[in-house]
Structure 1
Amino acid sequence: MSKPGETREEGENEKTRESPQTVRSTTTQPPGGGREEKSEDGSDEPSATVLDAVKDQMPDDADEQDKEMNVKNSTATVKVLLVPGGHVMTMAFAIGLTIKEIKHHLASELKVPLEVLQLYLNGRVVEEKQSLMELGIRPHSSTQMEMSSSDPTSYPLRLPLPPEHDTMPDVITVQVQKDEGVFKEVVVEIERSHQKKPFLGGYRHRLTGAEYHNATVQTLPKKRPDRGVLVHSLGTQTAELKSKLQQCSVDMSTQMTGIGCYVSCVNDKLVTPGKYVTADEYHGRRLKAVICLQSYIRRWLAQEEVEQLRRERARRLAWFDLQERKCKEEKEAQLRERRRRWMNPQNKEDFNLLYHALQKWRNEEEEQINCSLRGAERKAALCALLEQEMEFIAAIGRHQINVEAINQDKLIRNFLNKAAAAHQWRSATGRLFEMDSVPDIRARALKEIYDDISKFPVDQQERWSFLEKLRNTVMEHECQLVWDIIDLIDREMDLMGRDVKEHNLEGLRKRICTLFLQYIRTPAFNPKVIKLLKVHKKPSELQHDMFFCHGCQRYLWSADFGSSTTGCRSRRCRNCTSLDNVARSRDDNSVYQSILRRLRTDELRLNPETSIPFLLQVDDIRYLIEKVWASCSALNGSRDIYNLAFARWDIQEDWSPWNCILLSKEETSAHTQVEHIQKAYETTFIQWIEQKHSMARQHFSKNPVIAKNLGL
């Protein structure tokens, strides 16, 4: 029974933590505080206490049977947090129950399938085979678990009753007097029972107004003891029905025509015996029908197989046509790209292609002159050929100067745009944010001034305002560079005041742009460019990273020299090598660059961890193609360099110079389908390929990284 002042709802039951019964409550807020409910007779006075019910359930120190109670039957309070609703279901379970049994009970309460429920303890999914005791939950303790639905769209987790209808605390603490002056605190769990029990009477204190109900209203019904005899049985309470058919005896007789009796024969039928069919004839007819049926079935199967072969043949022919058309289109695209590079070269590789074509034309013309002319005519023709070659070289040089000027302007614009760009970053949601700092604003202002002063031609008044703006900007600092810029600005303004023509001022304006660009590149005037400029090392650190170029007779960084996988450092820098190529050899490495790019793409697709194709350079691929494989396909001997590609010799191993073969693009797709090389190729051909691999292994074994892969 409860203390005066604490009220209870009529349908609620109370029990201590020692009770093995399962109780439940559903809350949406932390437990705390009681609530007042009206009594059965409609009054607002508080209800009776639960002390009497608690005293009956308290353990007795002298009772030894309670000490021997099975631990698995002890209960623990489990608070189940429904995710993402945030509601809490509080229930008491025996710690011997498994997670599967608990999920089955929760599924029946929430009316959702058992498979969609997922229970979490401390952020980890609990297994269905584990029990609460195995999870570390002690008897009469309290724990909290989370539960979510794997299919929240079809089976959301909703409370059986709205949360606003249940605000009663699920656990309360009461004091029980054991002896005189001795009190003990007992934790009482409250079971939410939504059925309305009848009011069976009670008492009300006249002075205090406390209401005392009968024990039947507040406690669970007393459980009947198990007598070991089955009292209620479904078989004894269910009637068994049986159906049985019975035939009554009927007397029957026949009548025939005789003396004194006439039977009409109007309805009689005349039955004549047919031909008797023997068993052999019957089985023979059946066999003939089966053979006929099998012949039709086999004919249908044969037609289906032929049709399938016809479809496969058509599909294979279509695939061959597609591959042939694809190769033709790829080759035409390469030729178009090559022709475009001839007509409009833009970078160093394009000009190398142009010089290579010029060298090829010169060799053909020289060979024709040597074959057709002799003596003085031959010398005159060779001189004319040399003059024509010089004109072509001069035209290519002029075009190269124009392209370099355009590219230089693009580089300057890209540099200024990067310096003036705002700081950007992406948030966790993927949204792009931008922030302008003081250096960003300074760099953007300098970029705008450079754009203004680099405009040619421009109105005189507008040009005057641009120069004034430039003067005010650079006068913030004092140095020799600023004084030179101001001197040039004064000179241009003086010349404009004398009405000098614009084409005469073009050189002066370019000098102003050059000095102002140098001003922008100075970190003291533009702090944003610090991240974009090369950071030079200390002289003491550069002494081991400097090499002598035998071409230009200068000491340069190691980065200015070409790299090679053979381990031999080049004696000339990149600029000297490029100049020598233009003057004498005039080689074009663009086709070898394309072969290397395709090789890296294919190997990266087959094995992302491969490394050797990325160690090789264009010169190494050129050596493999020209020296090792003689610039022709290993199978058909095709010398079309634009149609050659490298493939693995053994498909199961990574590509390397000693595990490769040079084939045409059509042969590459067929070679990749070969599983057993010894069965697909002859022994002589295999030995010839192995000889090529030995040459490549001997050449590339000088590199320490490649030698490591060789096992040397």
Structure 2
Amino acid sequence: MPKAEGDEVKAKAEAAKAEEKKKVEGSQAKGESPAAAVVEKSGVEGAGSPEEASKAKEAKADASTDTKNDAEGELKAKEASTPQAAASPEAKVASPQADAAATLAAAEAGAAAAAAAAAGRGMAASATSGSVTVEVLVMPERFRVIQEFDRLLTIKHVKVLLCKRLSLPLRRFVLHMKDGVEMNECAFLTEFCADAKSIQLVGTVSLPNEKDNDYKMPNQIEVMIDTDINGHPVIVKVDIERKQDSKKPYFGGYRDKRNGKAYHHATSQTPQIAKEAKTKKFHRETQTTDVSSKSVQSKREQGTQMARKDLYIDNHDDKIITSQAYFTTEELLELKRQKALAIQCFIRQCFAWRKVAAYYHAKRTKARRDAAAKALAEKKLKEEEEDRIRRRLNPRTKSDFTALYSELREWRHNQEKAIRGLNASEEEQSQLMKELLAKEVKLMQTIDKLRQRANSANKQEAIKARLELMASPKEWLTDQGDYIEVVTPYTTRASELVQLYNGLRLRKIPVEQRIDVLLNVKFTVKEFDCLLTREIITLCNRENDMINRGRSTTSLNGLRRRLENLFLQFIETPEFNPGAKNFQRAPAATTKLTKIFPKVQTELWTRKNP
């Protein structure tokens, strides 16, 4: 085709496009559908003959029928979606798929109307009529789609038909030329192909984003499964079971140490309504004030109005202002210098007072520290003196007795020196030395008595500590670093024996309780037949007999002390008390006292001593 003819065809297409847009805008202002307007336009243009006029009227009627059907379909869709939205509180926002379907349906109706309009327009303008083959390369899958479209269809209608054929969402499909230029959706197809019979385009399908996943399936859907005998479809309502959309919140829990199974806390499934904050909370970014400069027009212009004979001016609120004496720069500098000197004086005074306050504070702190140190030293000296006196009066350790002996030697040395310094005869000095020796012997006897008493007390304390440790529960260290107390049969046996030993050591108890303690000791040691247990049983019987005869407590001290020592030996023997094995320095050998007699000898001895 020559170039002039191509330009002419293009000019006609642009004129037809402009006329169609005006017609569509006029129909929208009147409340009519664009398809009806296009059909009306085509009917007017093609009214050259009676047959063409009748065809135009039929096309207009079809377009109005399609518009009416579309309106009824939209109304039914709204009525169908209303109960579902009321049944499901969560479906407050329409899903993107539903919007896409509605848009697709509307676009198809528009495409059909445009096709009808194009058919009518083709009878009047044959130069722009006909179809064009569109070859679309779909990216990124890189497959081609070939389909014929009317030249007067818009790019939007072409996208709708392609999306319907390829089952693609309309908002994710973009058409553009081979050179990458995106095509305007309001443009007609004939603007890009001119008089060519085919055109190559590129369609890009974008990846889905987070907004595409906002669709929520309704609580109930309708599914057509089959047809009945009459050929009608059978529709079944299916309830949708929803899964939990988000992960459960973690509210804490605990774990079973035996098998490692975790148990989590939970809350009620009832949705909680978030409470609004009573006070407004601001972030750091929003606390910065935005400063902006704005120009405003005042209500009254600035100016001077003089009074005239035809103009009255109210001067009731006027004030007479007179100028004051001029303040020179030198005077201002002098005023600043005086104020600066005053400020310096106050600052130096403040620093001086602070320095004095710090000095007095340090002085008072040092005095309190010195007084506290002096009081602590005096208290320490007093405690040392009291401890020294206590160690002299009641010595307990080896160092205490060493100090006593050293002081005794020093005292004797001083006394001998004083005797030799006297102007006395040899007989008098000899007599004084004998008296000094007697005093020294008496002091040494006193020190020995204190040593014996201390040894006895220390021995009793050691025995008591050993028995308490023997009867105390075992402490085991756990993996968490804690200690747990475990009572074993050995500790239980040791605890019972220690209780009996403490009962034997009691002195100021009634006679009945003493007899009960002796009986318990007797039946406890009777389980083992040896010389030690026979002697303990004999002593228990003897003390019981002497108590029944009314003997005094003083006459029973030796017997009771002997019974205590034998029972203590019984407790410290591993054959009778397995818990005592851990408190022996070396493995104990079986002696005559602890050797168990045969059963025959035990029966004979039991008959003689019931």
Normalising by the smaller structure, the TM-score range is: 0.3 to 0.5
Structure ranking higher on relative contact order (CA contacts 8 Å, 6+ apart):
1
Q: Name the larger-Rg structure.
A: 2
TM-score, L = length of structure 1:
0.38
TM-score, L = length of structure 2:
0.43
